[in-house]
Amino acid sequence: MSVEEHTRGRMQTRQILGVFHRMLELIVRGISLLVAFIRGPAKSQPPIKDLTLLYSATTLALKIRNRQLTSEDVVTSYIERIKEIQPILNCVVAERFEKALKEARICDELLKSQDAPSVEFLAKEKPLFGIPFTTKDCIAVENMQQTAGLVVRKNIVVDKDAEAIKLMKSAGAIPLALTNVSELAMWWESSNCLFGITKNPYNTRHIVGGSSGGEGCLQAAAGSPVGIGSDIGGSIRMPAFFNGIFGHKPSKGIVSNDGQYPSAQSYDQDQLLAIGPMCRYAQDLTLILKIIADKNADLLKLNQKVDISKIKLYYMEDDGGQYLISPVDPEIKAAMKRVVNYFEKAHKIKATKLNIKMLKKSTALWLANMACKDEKDFSYELTNRKGQLNIWLEFIKWMLFMSNHTLIALFTAMFEKFGIKHGSEKHVRLMQQSKDLYQEFKDILGEDGVFLYPTHPTAAPMHHEPLCKPFNFSYTAIINVLGLPATACPLGLNKQGLPIGIQVVAGLYQDHLTFAIAEELERGFGGWVPPAIVA
């Protein structure tokens, strides 16, 4: 067979697979619509009645230290909001409301005392003084559960904070609640056998993403000023995208992964994993990252003023056409074009459209970087690291409604058994291609370049739809492979009333550039879209 015939054959195979996959998506969407119709009308988040919920964390902190608001009032406002939205959205899995109120009163009493610290001291040393925050049920908070959505961990309570939580507390912040995740944080819909499924605040028939999906949902519904998520393949950015908020995956190695469960099983996995901020307002990204990056914050130049007009802008509208990946929605491509046009008109920046061919291998590259030695795979994780799960027996139990695991968790474990083996010829080749792709991005972006890229090919799918398009997470996953900073930025709602947006990527340690672009996009396109407001 000639090279030309071989190429033609591969193209035909790609086309056939593409048609089959698209038909499968349409069938599953039809089934989802039928199920949704049977279950009744969709719900959305209730209106906001307390205007305190509309302030950014930065503004709330300023008002508390200037004694314009009390910490107790702020914490109370968010507790009441969580109680209001939880029955509809199911985003919170554990709370410490009474303890948080007690800690808030201590903050207020300190401010009233003769020994009250100065406003300047608080702004510098305790920038989140009296501010409540939330985090996902994977990141350790002292004396709280850490289940990671795994039934066998339902009674596990941790005795110390994750490093990021410890730093948030040191900055004066008050932990308020834990939010729902996918089982063991390895799927992009937040659902598990312990706490059930979390629903999108803009339309409860749709997903919130994962694994930080409960956190993305809570932020979008104004149930918390700021949140902390973690991201190994898009687990901050996809929920941020689906819920219309800002979410940032920091440069690799900047924020400590200590206290995240499941923890990384290898150096390569640890390089993929990042803990970062999730919030409604772009200005809070810098505030939170400065805190949780601790001494590494100096590497990021977060205090450096950015001249937007000096930034080099690059973009791609899609990945070039991977197998079994949904095409990018026309509305998302249109939003990308509006962004490109905005920067050209507002800042005289002519964006360069790229064609990075290696992005067609995004899924394979991420899977190679996730490959584990010594059988410490997902089947091992599902036993809470106590052995290997009998996957076939567990499938039988699932069909008999006797399994403690989600169907997608079992499929993931099975897929890994037949996937890329660590140290194999294919694994070595893909790891080298990962390094080559990083070098390509390094050469393009330098220290003044920004890359605009879809966060996901579609707006939030309906519940369970991800089962027929499992690899759509590749748009975020490839940025984890590169270790580069990326900020998911909302760009309003589509015609169905669901959030859409893009992710902004910069060179290593150039997180300040993605934040500058995020703030500019917020000014130009409105940022988070709040629910109805009743004053």
Residue 285, Cα to own-chain centre: how many angstroms? 13
Q: Is 424 in the active site?
A: no
Range 345-348 contact pairs with CB under 8 angstroms and sequence separation of 24 or more: 346/520, 346/524, 347/308, 347/309, 348/309
Name the DSSP letter for residue 462: B
Q: Which of 126, 136, 166, 252 is catalytic?
A: 136
> Around 268, how many Cα atoms within 13 Å sit in the side-chain half-sphere?
19
C-alpha radius of gyration, the chain, whole number: 22
Angstrom distance (rounded) from CA 17 to CA 156? 44
Residue 88 tokens, joined: 């509809």
Residue 381 tokens, joined: 């994780």
Q: Which of 224, 235, 434, 474 is catalytic?
A: 235
Q: Is 211 in the active site?
A: yes
Can you tell me whether residue 352 is helix, strand or coil?
strand
Which residues 6+ apart lie within 8 Å of 519 measured at CB? Answer: 282, 283
Q: Which of 211, 224, 379, 403 is catalytic?
A: 211
Kindly list the strands in the beta sheet with 226-231, ordered across the sheet, starting from the edge strand earlier in the chain: 92-95, 174-179, 132-136, 226-231, 274-279, 246-249, 486-493, 499-506, 449-453, 312-315, 352-353
In the block, tokens 């697979």 appear at 17
Q: Is 169 in the active site?
A: no
Active site residues: 136, 211, 235
